Amino acid sequence: MTSTDVRPELAAGLTFPPGFTFGAATAAYQIEGAVDADGRGPSIWDTFSHTPGRTFEGHTGDVAVEHYTRYPQDVALMAELGLSAYRFSVAWSRVLPEGAGRVEQRGLDFYRRLVDELLGAGIDPWLTLYHWDLPQALQDRGGWTARDTAARFADYAGVVHDALGDRVRHWSTLNEPMCSALLGHMSGQHAPGERNPVAAARATHHLLLGHGLATQVLRERGADHLGVTLNFTPMTPATDRPEDVDAARRLDGQQNRMFLEPIVHGAYPADVVADLEAAGAPLPVEDGDLEVISAPLDWLGVNYYFESTVRVGVRSPDRPTSFIGAEDVVELDPEGPTTTMGWGISPDAFTRLLLWLGEEAPGLPLVVTENGSAWPDEPAEDGAVHDPERSDYLVRHLAAVTDAVAKGADVRGYFAWSLLDNYEWARGYAQRFGLVHVDYGTQRRTVKDSGRAYADILRRHRQAQEG
Ligand code: IFM
């Protein structure tokens, strides 16, 4: 591999703590394809993506990047990049096609094969139990709006741990419950596509309860490196007018604190509880729930992409809010360059976020479980994929992590989103986040320049460790 020419001095100067984990992340529905293979049951994303008008040009995850059959090649790519870890999710409906009850051994066997391939290549598996793909059978019984789904999630966690606990050390319960709850039930941008504040509040609490119940089950089975992944978007008021400051407080409450605080402090933020009650959408908390939700963890997964500036204003009707009772709040278009997702680029906000989390959750190690950017990459005439913007984003955000570490944040690892170009949910295949380009016609994989830049950084880190 050749080195990148993007920000070489910055990249060369990056130093990370000893034992720092470097990986890349994916999620089941975004890469696996093979939706009918080996007894897999349908998930809410199969239903949603096949519903006309829900996703970009009707794209679905039916084929995705065929990781289900191409995983040996993909693990070989990870080894080529020099990754020490790989974060992936298990599709609940491959393991329990009806969401509960009957176990599909062939589904578990796939993940066993994948894990063995990783271990054989010296790559540490980091397993996420839930990355948004609820079995449709459970959705038919109310999905996350039903309290019972939390208990079914804990059962599922036990089944997966019984099968893989002997070979996977790093476990995560949920990925980004904010998206499952609020994008899935408030704005309806994601499956199951509801627009109902009461459902959104119920889903929020039941996801967190499911996390807590699954944590108990995994602990009983001996899990000793257990975490959860939350997505954080720092919210800044556009002006110092009290109504804009309050708008930022409200969105920060639901985006960030509503998920973090019950887990690390055992209580929902009082202001968020009041906002939700005022909106007629209370959190359905029962006695003892918060003790379950706040069971101690070994690490907190942090997903960060961009920050947001907000103010009170009139929303365009085609952009429904994801936040309960926040129909009067608008998020401003970012200033400066944006990725193809339309997201701004703010590495400084990433440093501040990591430092804030260090204060909010003292003693809890942080792991960046996702960070990355989408760009319009295509192979050039020389056959390579030149993506200087992604390399730039990557290096600047890695530098933001080292800044946070230098200022005292306990960050133990970084997973780039994503290993491969993949199915970007409602945005379909139009958004490419991979370090590795995928030609969706041929499924050919090509390591992008940014993948090579990442590999260089990892190699330098290894060499520094080896002295
Ligand atoms: O692709 C998603 C991923 O599934 C969850 N976190 C954000 C990524 C980019 O949108």
pLDDT band for 203, please (50, 70, 90 cuts).
very high
The answer to whether residue 66 is catalytic is no
The atom of ligand 1 lying closest to the CA of 424 is 1
Q: Which residues of 191-200 are buried (b: 16+ CB within 10 A; e: fewer)?
A: bbbbeebbbb
pLDDT at position 1: 34
Closest-CA residue to 35 (of 136, 168, 146): 136
The answer to whether residue 220 is catalytic is no
Distance in Å, CA 424 to ligand 1 centroid: 7
Residue with tokens 């948004």: 132
* Other beta carbons less than 10 A from residue 42's beta carbon: 17
Two structure tokens written together for 454: 């990442």
Long-range CB contacts for residues 439-444, cutoff 8 Å, separation at least 24: 439/379, 440/65, 443/65, 443/66, 443/70
Best residue for ligand 1 mutational test, from 48, 370, 373, 427 (most atoms within 8 Å of Cβ): 370
| Distance of alpha carbon 60 from alpha carbon 48, whole angstroms | 9
| Distance of alpha carbon 412 from alpha carbon 17, whole angstroms | 8
Best residue for ligand 1 mutational test, from 424, 431, 432, 435 (most atoms within 8 Å of Cβ): 424
Two structure tokens written together for 118: 């990783």
Selecting among 32, 117, 176, 261, the annotated active-site residue is 176
Specify burial of residue 212 (Cβ count, 10 A radius: 0-12, 13-18, 19+): buried
The atom of ligand 1 lying closest to the CA of 417 is 8
- Residues framing ligand 1 (Cβ under 6 A): 27, 30, 176, 303, 370, 417, 424, 433
Residue with tokens 């009170």: 312
Task: Provide the percentage of residues in the chain whose pLDDT is more than 90.
Answer: 96
Best residue for ligand 1 mutational test, from 233, 339, 418 (most atoms within 8 Å of Cβ): 418
DSSP code per residue over 108-161: HHHHHHHHHHHHHTT-EEEEEEESS--BHHHHTTTGGGSTHHHHHHHHHHHHHH
The mean per-residue pLDDT over the stretch 191-218 comes to 99
Are 104 and 40 in contact, with CB atoms under 8 Å apart?
yes
Does position 140 have pLDDT exceeding 80, yes or no?
Answer: yes
Report how far Cα 287 is from the mean position of its chain's Cα atoms: 30
Selecting among 32, 194, 370, 424, the annotated active-site residue is 370
Residue with tokens 């997201």: 343
pTM, entire model: 0.98
Are 31 and 64 in contact, with CB atoms under 8 Å apart?
yes
pLDDT band for 8, please (50, 70, 90 cuts).
confident
Report how far Cα 411 is from the mean position of its chain's Cα atoms: 17
pLDDT at position 6: 63
pLDDT at position 31: 99
Q: Is 159 left (phi over 0), alpha (psi -120 to 50) or beta?
A: alpha
pLDDT band for 380, please (50, 70, 90 cuts).
very high
Pick the CATH number of 3-466 from 3.40.50.720, 3.40.50.1360, 3.40.462.10, 3.20.20.80: 3.20.20.80
pLDDT at position 7: 76
308-312 and 329-331: which strand pairing?
A: antiparallel
Report how far Cα 439 is from the mean position of its chain's Cα atoms: 23
Q: In which element (H, E) is residue 210 found?
A: helix 197-220
Task: Provide the percentage of residues in the chain whose pLDDT is more than 70.
Answer: 99
| Distance of alpha carbon 112 from alpha carbon 120, whole angstroms | 12
Does position 3 have pLDDT exceeding 50, yes or no?
Answer: no
The mean per-residue pLDDT over the stretch 57-71 comes to 98
Report how far Cα 91 is from the mean position of its chain's Cα atoms: 14
The atom of ligand 1 lying closest to the CA of 370 is 6
What is the three-class DSSP state of 276? Answer: helix
For ligand 1, atom 9, name the residue with the nearest CA: 424
Distance in Å, CA 418 to ligand 1 centroid: 8
Rg (C-alpha) for the chain, rounded Å, is: 21
Distance in Å, CA 21 to ligand 1 centroid: 20
Distance in Å, CA 11 to ligand 1 centroid: 25
Residue 21, beta-bridge partner list: 413
